[in-house]
Chain A
């Protein structure tokens, strides 16, 4: 596998010291100040550590952007509950277009471990689980080796840290499905409330954070919450992001920059613009789960508020450029197929609705659809959004709905043309599509 291009615009926090070469061994990590913050944190009261996280306004990098310190403050203190308190790190990175946690685990595994141990101290947890995506075998090896080093150096103290490998289901990146899976059950989300902070892993208080979020924690302490909160686009989008730039750009890669740079800057300056002299048609922002962006929105800043004004989401930091050679119906179909394949099937709208989306989009693509089908398509999206047990259904419906509304002319062109005007020329035509298990069962 080709190495991912790594870059940054100062200040690098998460990937600090690891842009040129990975910091996988403990000696080189210590050389850049590693584990100093753990020592400091352990000298502080748990409450003070949480307080620093609150002041920094560090927010979740997994997609929901929830304030990390506040979430930690929901965890009851050990004197209030007769159950263990768990810290669970979500390393089940599976959102299409996302590859930042992978780089973090490969390059700064010790910073993640240090972050885990500081966060564990903040919530007074003695049990940490890192739930890592099953396909991440190199990352698992690197992380496991780093853990052994940290253990050997006596850094874990009385905390037990376990790395658990998933079995390849996208839904297990959803926090409650992750907990079910970690408990050895079928990976399906739980209905909330109760929230994990009260009843999480084994019905005990559980804090769940994304890899990138936790890796920020040592830096919050190192810089101090006030300085951290000045970075990026304060007050709401503080700190940096490891953006995952991919698609039809000249230099795809993982780039750490402060929040608040524009999409245009990321694509054109950092990414070198659209490859092969083509023009940009759409941008997948945040991940495949969110509405797509059109080229006229390129000057939107990559912070939660600026994106939110346009009905967009920062998600897990995905920026995927789609050029004019790609058929947007094929794109929507490919996205819908992904969610149909990954729907756990627990709740009705997602289980049935995602397949229906695929069926209609396929009809549009092959020319057998009518204008009315586009209305049905949008209606199905509306009937999924907000009615499911978790957000997977919304994640399928939102991008599809945005493709139809923002590229209605291209959808209509399919109807008028009696099929895809791009045909075999679309850059997506030969991309891998998941095996249609439904077709197999039918046959």
Chain B
């Protein structure tokens, strides 16, 4: 691989790669606002300017300037190097680039920083971007001086509602056009543009339109300042109180890599953010996925129930064990769930095996809208994982499950999951004599179950999900189990033990080792993630 020198480090690069991207991959953040690895180059913020030394034997590109001569007490003509934007300049083998070590670059960055803040309202205390704002970070790193302009800053429209998800503040905007490019290039809907020119410029939505494509939250996500805020997250939390874990979006079968940002004090997830994985979601997530964090806290089943009445989890487990122990294996079935992780589904398969239950079915959330960007019509995160795990057990469909109920072949059922697929005949569940539902959310299973065991959601447990491309991805636990819930695989282990046939594995690692032969190879979360934008 060819190399270039950035300050005193050798940086490898792919041919054609820009300086800033190669540096980013090597873990060096060249200061920037308008550049984003997933978008076209705009080169408009001028923050990423670097000095490139001329090749040996070639003259440097020099500019004539006036510099203050302290001895002569006047400005004298001098020369300084012409700086280049590292977001646009392709790296070349042997190139020598000065970034932190160039005094000219220092001045240029301080200049851009000062100019960007010149008309900025500096309303950080009430700005949602505070704490993760490049204007703040770079002021500290590259400016650190007081404002030198005494005049009133330019005033522009504030709190402009762009659509159902986004609010815009033109005074905070630095016109980097990342949001414009996200709409054009990612969402393929050029609904945003810049109106007016010069210092009067502002981002506007096309006349007669709203910012309402399926990727609007990506405009807020790429906004390097507080100009675009998400109605979902606005004024909800201060980001410095939030912690992040590496998760996988469970909103559909694409399996976008995400961060779950949660407040450890109240164990609440406040938002998702995309986590870079070029093989899955590149840098992005859709609005459905971004807002799917709400399901962690909404519509949840947080207590156990017996015949519809609240019960303690141990009591419900004992009741379920009793039903299981009494059941005739030939009229007993288990229902796997594409909503749940491999671990949960494997635990249920283990239970089936231990108790001689041979009928294995599956449930899933209904299909929905897809596109050729990220959204998959299969709204389940683990359809492929369930298919792989259940293959040896002759996994059958939900339609076949409904037929089995009607044929009296599924009198006792242990079901994982909360939803049933479209046209799945949820009503048939009423005909199951003993329905043990291990569910995260209210829904057809919980409504009709004899015993409900509250399962923790994807955000409350480590889990593995296999996306539509067959990639097995780990999602990490963000918050502690909500209410009385426990991870489904734990509930199943306790149930098996209570019913007299304990599993061989006790810990998650042991479960995963036992599952390994049947499950697709696990792909760990992208370790070189750069999704800290």
Interface residues in chain A, defined as those with a beta carbon under 8 Å from any beta carbon in chain B? 169, 171, 186, 191, 193, 311, 340-349, 351-356, 359, 363, 375-376, 378, 381-389, 401, 405, 437-438, 441-442
**A402: nearest residue on chain B (CB-CB)?**
B66
The answer for the CA separation of A186 and B201 in the assembled complex, in Å, is: 12
Residues of chain B contacted by A363 (CB below 8 angstroms): 150
* B66 and A356 form a contact (CB under 8 A): no
A354 B200 Cβ-Cβ under 8 A: no
* Given A348-B44, A348-B116, A349-B112: A387 and B49 interface contact (C-beta under 8 Å): yes
Pick the contact of B65: A186, A344, A355, A386 (CB < 8 A): A386
Q: Is the CB of A355 within 8 A of B116?
A: no
Question: Size of chain B's interface in residues, with CB distance under 8 A?
Answer: 49
Q: Are A346 and B115 in contact, with the CB atoms below 8 A? A: no
- Residues of A near B313 (CB, < 8 A) are none
Annotate B77-88 by CB proximity to A: 1 below 8 A, 0 otherwise.
100101101001
Q: Is B295 an interface residue (CB 8 A)?
A: no
Kindly state whether residue B123 has any CB partner on chain A within 8 Å: no
Q: Is B174 an interface residue (CB 8 A)?
A: yes
> Which B residues lie within 8 Å of A382 (CB)?
65-67, 107
Instruction: Let me know if B74 is at the binding interface, CB within 8 A.
Output: yes
Would you give the shortest CB distance from A339 to chain B, in whole angstroms? 9
A442 interface neighbour in B67, B155, B194, Cβ under 8 Å: B155
Partner of B66 from the list A349, A355, A378 (CB cut-off 8 Å) is A378
- Most A CB within 10 A of own CB, among B44, B85, B88, B149: B44
The answer to whether A351 touches B83, judged by C-beta atoms less than 8 angstroms apart, is: no
Which residues from chain A contact B148 at a C-beta distance below 8 Å?
Answer: 376
Most buried by B among A169, A186, A346: A346
> Given the complex, which residues of B lie within 8 Å of A438, measured CB to CB?
154, 199-200
| Cross-interface CB contact of B43 among A341, A381, A389, A401, cutoff 8 Å | A389
- Among B145-188, those with CB < 8 Å from A are 148-152, 154-156, 174-175
| Cross-interface CB contact of A405 among B45, B74, B152, B201, cutoff 8 Å | B74
Structural contact, A186 and B193, CB atoms closer than 8 A: yes
Interface of A is mostly: helix
Max count, chain B CB within 10 A of own CB: residue among A349, A352, A385: A352
B122 contacts the other chain (CB 8 A): no
Which residue from chain A places its CB closest to the CB of B61 in the assembled complex? A386
Contacts of B43 in A (CB 8 A): 191, 347, 389
Q: Which residues of the other chain, B, contact A352 by a CB distance below 8 angstroms?
A: 115-116, 118-119, 199
CB atoms of A191 and B175 under 8 A apart? no
A126 to chain B, nearest CB (A): 30
> Provided the pairs A343-B197, A348-B44, A348-B45 are in contact, do residues A378 and B75 lie with their beta carbons within 8 angstroms?
yes
CB < 8 Å neighbour of B149 from A193, A356, A384: A356
A341: nearest residue on chain B (CB-CB)? B198
Known contacts A186-B193, A186-B194, A359-B151, A345 near B199 by CB under 8 Å? yes
A343 adjacent to B174 (CB under 8 Å)? no
Q: Please tell me if the beta carbons of B201 and A345 are within 8 angstroms of each other in the complex.
A: yes
User: Are A386 and B107 interface neighbours, CB within 8 A?
Assistant: no
Whether the Cβ atoms of A347 and B46 lie closer than 8 Å is yes
Q: Which residues of A contact B196 (CB under 8 A)?
A: 345
Q: A343-B199, A438-B200 are in contact. List 12 more A-B contacts (CB 8 A).
A: A340-B198, A340-B199, A348-B44, A348-B115, A354-B199, A359-B151, A383-B115, A384-B111, A386-B80, A387-B111, A405-B75, A441-B200
- Residues of A within 8 Å of B198, CB to CB, are 340-345, 351, 354-355
How many angstroms between the C-alpha atoms of A282 and B66 in the bound complex?
Answer: 19
Q: Which 4 A-B pairs have the closest CB atoms?
A: A383-B111, A191-B43, A345-B201, A352-B115
Contact B112 A387 (CB under 8 A): yes
Do B197 and A344 have beta carbons less than 8 Å apart?
A: yes
- Confirm or deny: B310 has a beta carbon within 8 angstroms of a beta carbon on chain A: no
Residues of B within 8 A of A383 (CB): 107-108, 111, 114-115
Task: Flag if B41 contacts A351 (CB, 8 Å).
Answer: no
In whole angstroms, how far apart are the Cα atoms of A193 and B174 in the complex? 24
Do B85 and A191 touch (CB < 8 A)? yes
A191 touching B41, Cβ below 8 Å: yes
Cβ of B75: which chain A residues have Cβ within 8 Å of it? Answer: 378, 401, 405
Q: Which residue of A lies closest to B109 (CB)?
A: A387
Knowing A349-B111, A386-B63 touch, does A191 contact B200 (C-beta < 8 A)?
no
Contacts of B64 in A (CB 8 A): 311
